[in-house]
Amino acid sequence: MSLHIVSKSPFSSTALADCLTSFIEGDALVLIEDGVYALSGALKSQPVVGPVYCLAADAQARGLTIPAAVEAIDDDRWASLCTEHNPIVSWFR
């Protein structure tokens, strides 16, 4: 199943919204770069989809706390997720 990678803020881009429209059972979502701002909004308490992963370094860079419902990951875990899923779909605009 697909691994979706979102790298833009949900407050200024429709990248996350478009991704969620394409999200189906069995898929997974990785928030990177400005995509981690979803943690301060839509995905704060109860994510609408799952599983949701978040690059810890990107959240830390931006002063965001990763909520319990989202799994903090490093680059190595991200790479592993990419081997466990296919295709890999980037949403960057």
Partner 1 sequence: MGKRSLALCRQAPYGNALAREGLEAVLAASALEQAPDLLFSGDGVFQLLPGQEPDGIGQKNLQRNLQALPIFDIERAYVCEHSLSQRGLSLDDLATGGPALHPVSDIGKLISSYDTVLSF
Partner 2 sequence: MYPATSDTRNQAAMNFTLAVYAAPHASQSAATALRFAQALLRQGHQLYRVFFYCDGVHNGSSLATPPQDETDLLPAWQSLQAEHGLDLVVCIAAAQRRGVLSEAEAKRLERPAANLAPGFELAGLGQLADAVAHSDRLVTFGS
Which partner from the list partner 1, partner 2, its own copies, none does 78 bind, CB cut-off 5 to 8 Å by kind?
partner 2
Which partner from the list partner 1, its own copies, partner 2, none does 79 bind, CB cut-off 5 to 8 Å by kind?
partner 2
CA distances from 16 to 26, 35, 81 (A): 17, 8, 19
- Report residue 20: phi and psi, to 5°: -65, -30
Q: Among 21, 68, 76, 83, which residue interacts with partner 1 (rule: CB under 8 A)?
A: 21
Q: Among 6, 9, 16, 70, which residue interacts with partner 1 (rule: CB under 8 A)?
A: 9
Our finding on whether 82 is near partner 1 (CB under 8 A) is no
CA distances from 10 to 22, 29, 33, 81, 86 (A): 15, 14, 12, 23, 24
